[in-house]
Amino acid sequence: MAAGTSTNGASFKVPGRVGDGPIVGSGSYVDNDVGACGATGDGDIMMRFLPCYQAVESMRNGMAPTEAAEDAVRRMVRKYPAVASGIVVVDKDGNHGAAASGWGGTFTYAYRGGSMNATVVVEVPNLCVGRLMSQP
């Protein structure tokens, strides 16, 4: 397995700032025994929570990909209710899921199965803040 991530590019970079992309566990994370995660959103908040690391570790502890993604996003939203975040998680067997918060509309990702014949687009609604706050 492999994961990669990028930033908004040089035209949007503040001189001297290190974004969340190169921070292991923030923009992406992989453990071949468990699965992988890629993320986008407010990097200054996301690098404080390492949502990709958290999601992969949650899968290691028995959560399904969508459940692990939602848990990682909830952890950020509890402290930063307006955070824009989107994470996509896949386990070592190819099961995938995602969670998002703070987008104007839905968070969208696409994937291809092992045959590489068709691209499937998945729209992920933002998690409800009220629901987030009531979860353990």
pLDDT score of 26: 87
Q: Give every CB contact of residue 71 below 8 A, 6+ residues apart in sequence.
A: 54, 55, 58, 63
According to the annotation, is 41 in a ligand binding site? yes
According to the annotation, is 42 in a ligand binding site? yes
pLDDT score of 105: 83
Domains and CATH numbers, the chain: 17-134 (3.60.20.30)
**Residues 11, 120: Cα–Cα separation, whole Å:** 31
Main-chain phi, psi angles of 47, to 5 degrees? -70, -15
According to the annotation, is 25 in a ligand binding site? no
Is residue 97 within 8 Å of 115, Cβ to Cβ?
no
According to the annotation, is 60 in a ligand binding site? no
pLDDT score of 22: 75
Q: Give every CB contact of residue 10 below 8 A, 6+ residues apart in sequence.
A: none
Unique residue bearing structure tokens 């990682």? 72
pLDDT by position in tens, the chain (length 136): 888 777 666 655 667 777 677 778 889 999 999 999 999 988 889 999 999 999 999 999 999 999 999 999 999 999 999 999 999 999 999 999 999 999 888 899 998 877 778 899 999 999 865 544 434 4
According to the annotation, is 71 in a ligand binding site? no
pLDDT score of 11: 59
> Which strands form 28-31's sheet, in the order they lie side by side?
28-31, 35-41, 85-91, 96-101
pLDDT score of 9: 61
pLDDT score of 117: 86
According to the annotation, is 40 in a ligand binding site? yes
